[in-house]
Amino acid sequence: MIKLEIRRIEGEFERIAAHSHIKGLGLNERDEAIFKKAGMVGQEKAREAAGMVVNLIKEGKMAGRAILLAGPPGSGKTAIAVAISKELGYDVPFVSITGSEIYSAEVKKTEALRRSLRQAIGVRLREERKVLEGEVTEFIPSKQKTAYRQTVRGGDLTLKTDAEEVSLSIGPKVAQSLSRQGVQEGYVVLIDKETGRVQVQGLSQKAPESVRYDVGGEPTIPRPKGPVEKEKEFVHTTTLSDLDRLFHERSSGMLGGGLAALFGGGAERKEIDQETRDQVDRWVEKRIKEETAEILPGVLFIDGTHALDLEAFSFLNRALENEFAPIVIMASNRGITKIRGTSIKSPHGMPLDLLDRSLIVTTEPYNEDEIREIITIRAREENVKLSDEALDLLTEFGTENSLRYAVWLLAPASTRVERLGRERITVEDLRNVRERFSSISESISHVKEYEERYLK
Ligand SMILES: Nc1ncnc2c1ncn2[C@@H]1O[C@H](COP(=O)(O)OP(=O)(O)OP(=O)(O)O)[C@@H](O)[C@H]1O
Ligand SMILES: [Mg+2]
């Protein structure tokens, strides 16, 4: 089996940490939502809709479409997007940004959007490469110790097939890659001769008994046949955005020609011109015709879409028409509001033409039971213990204020409990932190009350 190496671009730490309990959409084999499964609670209709979206994406029927998750704050829109990414599996790119992120000082907003869109399109390339393949019978890395750390500088490797056994002396890149992937005697590896990229194929059927026992019933594969050195198909998954960078670097003379660079990995990001992108598109199209490339449309998730302005929206709208378009999933907690930078009022602050081509999935506010379950899951995730009364009270806070606020209070309450040398959060701890941290509605009424004294 070949491991795919798509880089998953995750949003900032907080956003992911808040959803770390979510493992998937929690659907059964008939794609129906189970009340509580995979870290998900309730919100059945939206989860089932998301399940359909996942199926369509996997069948390649969603590219160029937009989906809007619409619902009040804290109703699980971001949670559902995270669940979708978990369901898609690792060979489908999932790129997550927030609307406001595109307004950076470094690049134009349309450039930032274009980059994200192209990052969300996977390209699977198949290439005949000169490779070394065999079962490892010996791997001795040579290590060098400096004052701070130990580095692998190279090593000796012996590969065996049914026909021959070859001893090689390997460079740092291959040796480090083998070490990092925990390769030991008995594993079948494939090494791209030119670039040193290593793919671990699996454990050999002829691996020594001790290794097979250690790895504990991992499925085994046959020992390779024929010579160690040969031409063989190498599969590599990258994204349009990575290809852009690569072509850009190549044209500006930063890299040697050929695919070697691609298989060897790229350098840092640079501003990329349209000409380079066109070149990449033509190259990929050609490879698709030759049947050595496949497009894997992924997902671009844009959270907080109301932060986008008219220009960004129309750019998105046009981008969806493109031949290589990902699925765009947006989330909004705004009702009827002005489109940023205009005086036009529209549902979710989005232009009607984009709304019109979007499938809309709505999320509903949670009831008490659901809030209680979600708080319980989060408490377990954060390793926090609550007394029964405390759980009741926190559920009440969640119903009266917001789920997010209730979940958020777990952290300060748990720190307090720790400081006081206790185990469980009590009602008293919650009241204490509740007094010290305002909910949004309290903060708003505070601002209103003292309006005159705030800076304006
Ligand atoms: N159905 C659910 N099951 C389990 N956890 C959930 C569910 N819905 C929300 N959560 C959790 O509750 C918290 C708030 O939800 P989330 O951030 O997804 O809301 P949102 O709709 O994206 O809100 P906003 O509009 O403010 O962005 C998160 O920690 C999230 O993981
Ligand atoms: Mg959200």
> Can you list the domains of the chain with their CATH numbers?
36-120+298-362 (3.40.50.300), 125-238 (2.40.50.360), 368-446 (1.10.8.60)
Which of ligand 1's atoms lies nearest the C-alpha of 332? Answer: 25
Residues 385-413 have a mean pLDDT of 87
Q: For 305-341, write each residue's pLDDT tens digit.
A: 988 999 999 999 988 888 788 889 999 998 888 889 8
- Amino acid identity, residue 343? S
Averaged pLDDT, 13-24: 73
Closest residue by CA, ligand 1 atom 9? 76
- For range 182-202, the mean pLDDT: 89
Does residue 59 carry a pLDDT above 60? Answer: yes
Closest Cα to atom 6, ligand 1: which residue?
76
> Where residue 47 falls among pLDDT bands split at 50, 70, 90?
very high
Task: Check pLDDT > 90 for residue 68.
Answer: yes
pLDDT band of 77, cuts 50, 70, 90: very high
Q: List the single range of 193-197, 200-204, 439-443 with lowest mean pLDDT.
A: 439-443
Is residue 250's pLDDT more than 50? yes
Q: What average pLDDT does the chain have?
A: 84
pLDDT at 442 over 80: no
Vertex 176: Cα angle to 174 and 182 (nearest 5): 105
Residue 259 has pLDDT above 80, yes or no: no
Looking at residue 10, its pLDDT comes to 41
The bound ligand whose nearest atom lies closest to the alpha carbon of 79 is 1
The residue to mutate among 21, 77, 303, 401, having the most atoms of ligand 1 within 8 angstroms of its beta carbon, is: 77
| 78 alpha carbon – ligand 1 mean position (Å) | 6
Cα–Cα distance between 223 and 212 in angstroms, integer? 14
Give the chain's length. Answer: 456
What pLDDT shows up at residue 7?
38
pLDDT: which is higher, 107 or 225: 225
pLDDT at 1: 32
Task: Give the model's pLDDT for residue 253.
Answer: 58
Give the pLDDT confidence score for residue 371 in this predicted structure. 93
Atom of ligand 1 nearest to the CA of 18: 29
Ligand 1 neighbourhood includes 40 CB (under 6 angstroms)? yes
Q: Angle at which helices 388-400 and 368-381 pack, to 10 degrees? A: 120
As given in the structure block, the two tokens for residue 203 are: 């454990």
- Angular region, 202: left φ>0, alpha ψ -120 to 50, beta rest: left
Q: How far, in Å, is the centroid of ligand 1 from the Cα of 410?
A: 15
Residue nearest to atom 7 of ligand 1 (CA): 76
The pLDDT of residue 91 is 72
- Residues ≥6 apart with Cβ < 8 Å to 123: 237, 238, 239, 240, 243, 284, 293, 294, 295, 296
User: What was the pLDDT predicted at 6?
Assistant: 40
Please say whether the beta carbons of 163 and 227 come within 8 A: yes
Mean pLDDT of 60-82: 87
Q: What's the 22 CA to ligand 1 centre distance in angstroms?
A: 10
* pLDDT over 70 at 11, yes or no: no
For ligand 2, the distance from its centroid to the CA atom of residue 224, given in whole angstroms, is 49
Position 12 scores a pLDDT of 40
The band of 5, judged by pLDDT with boundaries at 50, 70 and 90, is: very low
Residues 6+ apart with CB under 8 A from 145: none
Is residue 403 within 6 Å of ligand 1 at its C-beta?
yes
Ligand nearest to the CA of 376: 1
User: What per-residue confidence (pLDDT) applies to 283?
Assistant: 93
38 CA from centroid of ligand 1 (Å): 14
Closest CA to 53 of 297, 293, 238: 297
**So what's the pLDDT on residue 322?**
82
Please state, in angstroms and rounded to a whole number, the distance separating the CA atoms of residues 208 and 226.
Answer: 21
pLDDT value at residue 364: 92
Q: Is 173's pLDDT higher than 50?
A: yes
Write the burial class of residue 427 (CB in 10 Å: 0-12 exposed, 13-18 middle, 19+ buried). Answer: middle
Task: Give the residue whose CA is nearest to atom 18 of ligand 1.
Answer: 76
Pocket flag, ligand 1, residue 41 (CB < 6 Å): yes
Residue 157: predicted pLDDT: 94
Residue 306 tokens read as 């109301």
Average pLDDT over residues 190-208: 88
What confidence tier does 372 reach under pLDDT thresholds 50, 70, 90?
A: very high
The pLDDT assigned to 271 comes to 73
Q: Is the pLDDT of residue 289 over 50?
A: yes
Give the pLDDT band (50/70/90) at residue 454.
low
Q: Which atom of ligand 1 is nearest to the CA of 75?
A: 21
pLDDT above 90: residue 33: yes
Closest CA to 19 of 407, 367, 298, 349: 407
CA of 27 to the centre of ligand 2 (A): 21
Ligand 1 neighbourhood includes 19 CB (under 6 angstroms):
yes
* Percentage, residues of the chain above pLDDT 70: 89
Identify which has the larger pLDDT, 56 or 17.
56
Pairing, β 345-347 against β 358-362: unpaired
Under 8 Å between Cβ of 349 and 334: yes
Residue 347, Cα to own-chain centre: how many angstroms? 29
Closest atom of ligand 1 to CA, residue 71: 21
CA-proximal residue: ligand 1, atom 14 (nearest): 74
374 lines ligand 1 (CB under 6 A): yes
Mutate to test the pocket of ligand 1, among 80, 329, 337, 404 (most ligand atoms within 8 A of CB): 404
